[in-house]
Amino acid sequence: MQKKITKAIFPVAGMGTRFLPATKSVPKEIMTLVDRPLIQYAIDEAREAGIKEFIFVTSRGKSALEDYFDHAPQLERELRKKGKTELLETLAATNMESGAIAYIRQHHALGLGHAVRCARRLIANEPFAVILPDDVIAGEKPCLKQMIDAYEETGGSMVAAMEVPMAQASSYGVLDVKEDMGSIVSVKGMVEKPKEGQAPSNLAVIGRYILTPSVLRNLRNQDSGAGGEIQLTDAIASEIEQGRNVYGFRFKGQRYDCGSKAGFLQATVAFGLARDDLRDELAEYLDELQASRRAAE
C-alpha cells in the first residue's frame, strides 16, 4: 500500500510571454478554452484524482487566479435573483473549500524545480503530485487518476510520458528507458531539453508528476541546468542515481500543448467540438472553411 496522494502543486508563476500582449494583464492560466480557464481543467483533473489540497506557486500579477477560486457574492446574488440556477451551478465548480488552496510566491523566476521547491513546507514528508496547467489532457479517465492508480502498484516517482517526433525531443524532458513494460516504463536516466541528436529516446515527459519527498531534498542542492534554470527533471534524475525507482507512464488521452499558440488553438477547436451546444455550428464552420481553402488552391 502506497501513501495516499492528497496534495498537488500547480506551478503558475510563469510570465506567459508567448501569449503577449494578452498576458500583460491576464495570467496565462486564466485564458479560456471555450469558456473555462486553463487552470480549471487542471483543478478538475486533480479533484477527480482525489487531491484535497491545492498548492499554487504564483508570482506578482497572478492575483486574478486567487479571485477566480473565491466566492463572488455579488454575482451570485444577482444570478439567484434572476433565477439563473444553471449559471449558479457553473460557478459552483469554481468554489473551493476554505483552506483547500494555498498560494505561495516564487520570488525569483529560477525554473520549474525551484517553483516546486517553494512549496516544500506545505508538502513536508509525503508523496505529492505536480500538474503543469499548460499541458491539457483530454481522456476518459483523468491522466493524474491513471497515474495514481499505476503508482499504487509501483511506488517510487512517476512522470507522465508520451512519444514525440525525435525532432521535437529537445523541447522536453526525455526519458532514458531501462525496461519498457507497456504503459509503465522504468527509467534509468532523464535529460531536460537534450541537444539535438543527444536525446536518449523520443519518450518525453508531459506535465504530470507523482513525486516522493526525496525529490524536494534533491532540489535543495540542485544546480541550475538546461536554460540556466533549476530543473525538476534533474532532481528526479538524481533519484535514480541515489538508487530509487523512477517510472514513466504512457497515459491514455489526447494532450494539448497550451503553452504554444498552435496547441492552444487546437485545444480550443477540440473542446468546442466536444460540446453538445457548440458541435454542430462549429463543425459546419470548419467544413466551410476547409472547402473555401480547397477552392482557393
Binding site for ligand G1P (CB under 6 A): 112, 132, 135, 172-173, 192, 204-207, 232-233, 259
SS3 of residue 85 by DSSP: helix
Q: Which is nearer to ligand G1P, 128 or 172 (CB)?
A: 172
Decide if 137 contacts 143 (C-beta within 8 A). yes
Decide if 111 contacts 231 (C-beta within 8 A). yes
Q: Give the amino acid at 146.
A: Q
In the bound state, the residue with its beta carbon closest to ligand G1P is 173
Q: Supply the minimum distance, in Å, between the C-beta of residue 11 and ligand G1P.
A: 8
Dihedral sign computed on CA atoms, order 52, 44, 142, 238: negative
Q: Which is nearer to ligand G1P, 173 or 272 (CB)?
A: 173
Q: Supply the minimum distance, in Å, between the C-beta of residue 204 and ligand G1P.
A: 5
Q: Supply the minimum distance, in Å, between the C-beta of residue 257 and ligand G1P.
A: 7
Give the Cα separation of 203 and 187 in Å (integer). Answer: 11
Q: Which is nearer to ligand G1P, 133 or 156 (CB)?
A: 133
Give the Cα separation of 33 and 136 in Å (integer). Answer: 10
Q: Which is nearer to ligand G1P, 79 or 216 (CB)?
A: 216
3-class SS letters over 166-197: HHHHHHCEEEEEEEECCCEEEEEEEEECCCCC
15's CB contacts (< 8 A; 6+ apart) are 23, 59, 61, 109
Q: Supply the minimum distance, in Å, between the C-beta of residue 112 and ligand G1P.
A: 5
Q: Supply the minimum distance, in Å, between the C-beta of residue 176 and ligand G1P.
A: 13
Q: Which is nearer to ligand G1P, 49 or 204 (CB)?
A: 204
Decide if 170 contacts 194 (C-beta within 8 A). yes
Q: Supply the minimum distance, in Å, between the C-beta of residue 135 and ligand G1P.
A: 5
Q: Which is nearer to ligand G1P, 79 or 215 (CB)?
A: 215
Q: Supply the minimum distance, in Å, between the C-beta of residue 218 and ligand G1P.
A: 15
SS3 of residue 297 by DSSP: coil
Give the Cα separation of 286 and 291 in Å (integer). Answer: 9
Number of Cβ within a 10 Å radius of residue 26 = 16
Q: Which is nearer to ligand G1P, 55 or 204 (CB)?
A: 204
